[in-house]
């Protein structure tokens, strides 16, 4: 089929391993010789229970998820977790600190956001919209030398963390925020914390007492992550995991031990039932009908990564190698390509964003970018147009993109640089 000659570098929904899709296609026609497709079975059947349990088991192995964390298969996408994370943590804060809101003139605790790109900015905006006391600990667009764009992650010593005084000390434990939220890989802007979000550089007392929340929608399973250092790690499926429709939330169980409604009389939020983590955890993600196909296909991706692709370590080595190859061409292109993320240490291994410059080596040139997209297409490379807010080119090298496919891109880029220079 045409699929074999196509290299899909879309930012998401993105490509999935062909072997997984072939198996999934069979499974939705006749699952395990039941004569019925997987999505035609009851979600409460023993057959589907096995599917969701084995997906969870494989994910636990891949990410080394500790026993005291629940794995929830939810809906609503990454976007719904912008409110899900804030509301659930405000509820658990209200339960743990019954007098807080009353003592603070009706105002809830602070919610800290590290704003390194478009998605964390959206999460902060939604949190403010919900009426929370949310604020940015930094906003990359406001830094000196940023030109109002995302691309620099400032040193942690400069972050305006709630409850931390100028000398970096926690003045009062009571004033610490109900969460610190970050987006590990900013899909639109191509900004990633490397080698990892700097939890170890935060004031110890802050890091140990503030629930840390990570949006890993676009880089989960591409490198190891220390789950135990977080309270919540969530990700939509449609990049490294599976088809859109399921959002996975990994949450520390002690945060969701009590019914969120218990916090309401203390000034905590009333959470829609389908957004309350506790209800999903208690029902093993079968509180209501789950996105069965997305869970099934994600489970196949987990099994494939675990059994034939070297797990997260294998994925991580490939991600390093693939992205290095592309950034190398950019840096050696003598001003034809320019990475849009200024700080090399913050450049994403998943979404590589760059502009193609005019002969002056300074001005992005739309005509050349269009020509580049055409050259890509001639070699079967699809979906490389940059996000409209950044412009230029974005090549996404998710787990399903092989090193061999990346080399085809590298060759197209090298030939294009030569074509432009000649």
Footprint on this chain of ligand PLP (rule: CB under 6 A): 12, 77-79, 119, 183, 187, 215, 217-218, 236
CA distance 51 to 53: 6
CB nearer to ligand PLP: pick between 81 and 266? 81
CB nearer to ligand PLP: pick between 80 and 112? 80
At its nearest, how many Å lie between ligand PLP and the CB of residue 218? 4
At its nearest, how many Å lie between ligand PLP and the CB of residue 326? 19
At its nearest, how many Å lie between ligand PLP and the CB of residue 268? 25
Which phi and psi (to 5°) does residue 184 adopt? -65, -35
Peptide bond into 291 cis (omega under 30): no
At its nearest, how many Å lie between ligand PLP and the CB of residue 317? 23
Give the pairing of strands 393-396 and 351-356: antiparallel
At its nearest, how many Å lie between ligand PLP and the CB of residue 220? 10
CA distance 166 to 397: 40
CB nearer to ligand PLP: pick between 14 and 266? 14
CA distance 43 to 234: 23
CB nearer to ligand PLP: pick between 219 and 285? 219
CB nearer to ligand PLP: pick between 24 and 74? 74
Q: Which residues contact 270 (CB under 8 A, 6 or more apart)?
A: 260, 261, 264
CB nearer to ligand PLP: pick between 74 and 393? 74
At its nearest, how many Å lie between ligand PLP and the CB of residue 237? 8
CA distance 209 to 177: 9
Nearest to 397 by CA among 348, 347, 356: 348
CB nearer to ligand PLP: pick between 231 and 238? 238
Please check whether residue 350 is in contact with residue 396, taking contact to mean a CB–CB distance below 8 angstroms.
Answer: yes
- What amino acid positions are annotated as catalytic residues? 119, 215, 239
At its nearest, how many Å lie between ligand PLP and the CB of residue 240? 11
Please check whether residue 361 is in contact with residue 335, taking contact to mean a CB–CB distance below 8 angstroms.
Answer: yes
CA distance 392 to 366: 7
CB nearer to ligand PLP: pick between 183 and 412? 183
Rounded to whole angstroms, what are the CA distances from 348 to 15, 78, 222, 339, 354?
18, 19, 11, 11, 11
CA distance 111 to 284: 28
For 14, the 3-state DSSP assignment is coil
Please check whether residue 352 is in contact with residue 395, taking contact to mean a CB–CB distance below 8 angstroms.
Answer: yes
At its nearest, how many Å lie between ligand PLP and the CB of residue 207? 22
- Lookup: tokens for 371: 């020509």
DSSP 359: T
Contacts 24+ apart (CB under 8 A), 237-241: 237/294, 237/298, 238/12, 238/13, 238/14, 239/11, 239/12, 239/13, 239/14, 239/187, 239/350, 239/396, 239/398, 240/301, 240/315, 240/350, 240/398, 240/399, 240/400, 241/298, 241/301, 241/302
């Amino acid at each position: 089929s045409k699929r074999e000659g196509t290299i899909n570098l879309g930012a998401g929904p993105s490509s999935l391993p062909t072997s997984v899709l072939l198996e999934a296609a069979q499974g939705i026609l006749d699952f395990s010789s039941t004569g019925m497709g997987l999505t035609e079975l009851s979600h409460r059947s023993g057959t589907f229970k096995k599917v969701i349990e084995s997906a969870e088991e494989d994910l636990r192995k891949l990410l080394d998820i500790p026993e005291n964390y629940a794995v929830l298969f939810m809906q609503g996408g990454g976007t719904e977790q912008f409110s899900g994370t804030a509301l659930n943590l405000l509820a658990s804060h209200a339960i743990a600190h019954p007098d807080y809101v009353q003592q603070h003139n009706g105002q809830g605790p602070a919610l800290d956001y590290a704003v390194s790109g478009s998605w964390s900015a959206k999460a902060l905006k939604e949190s403010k919209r919900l009426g929370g006391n949310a604020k940015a600990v930094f906003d990359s667009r406001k830094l000196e030398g940023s030109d109002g764009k995302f691309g620099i992650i400032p040193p942690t010593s400069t972050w305006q963390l709630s409850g931390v005084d100028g000398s970096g000390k926690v003045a009062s434990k009571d004033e610490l925020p109900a969460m610190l939220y970050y987006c590990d890989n900013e899909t639109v802007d191509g900004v990633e914390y490397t080698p990892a979000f700097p939890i170890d550089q935060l004031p110890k007392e802050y890091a140990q007492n503030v629930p840390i929340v990570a949006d890993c929608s676009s880089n989960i399973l591409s490198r190891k992550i220390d789950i135990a250092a977080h309270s919540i790690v969530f990700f939509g499926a449609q990049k490294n995991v599976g088809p859109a429709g399921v959002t996975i939330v990994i949450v520390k169980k002690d945060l969701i031990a009590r019914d969120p409604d218990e916090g309401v009389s203390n000034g905590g939020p009333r959470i829609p039932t389908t957004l309350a983590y506790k209800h999903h955890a208690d029902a093993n993600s079968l509180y209501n009908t789950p996105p069965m196909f997305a869970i099934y296909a994600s489970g196949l991706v987990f099994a494939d990564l675990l059994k034939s692709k070297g797990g997260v370590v294998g994925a991580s080595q490939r991600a390093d190698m693939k992205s290095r190859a592309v950034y190398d061409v950019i840096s050696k292109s003598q001003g034809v390509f320019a990475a849009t993320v200024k700080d090399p240490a913050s450049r994403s291994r998943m979404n590589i964003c760059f502009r193609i410059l005019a002969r002056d080596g300074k001005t992005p040139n739309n005509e050349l970018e269009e020509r580049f997209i055409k050259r890509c297409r001639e070699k079967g490379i699809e979906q490389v147009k940059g996000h409209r807010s950044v412009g230029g080119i974005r090549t996404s090298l998710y787990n399903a993109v092989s090193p061999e496919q990346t080399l085809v891109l590298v060759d197209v880029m090298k030939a294009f640089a030569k074509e432009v220079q000649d």
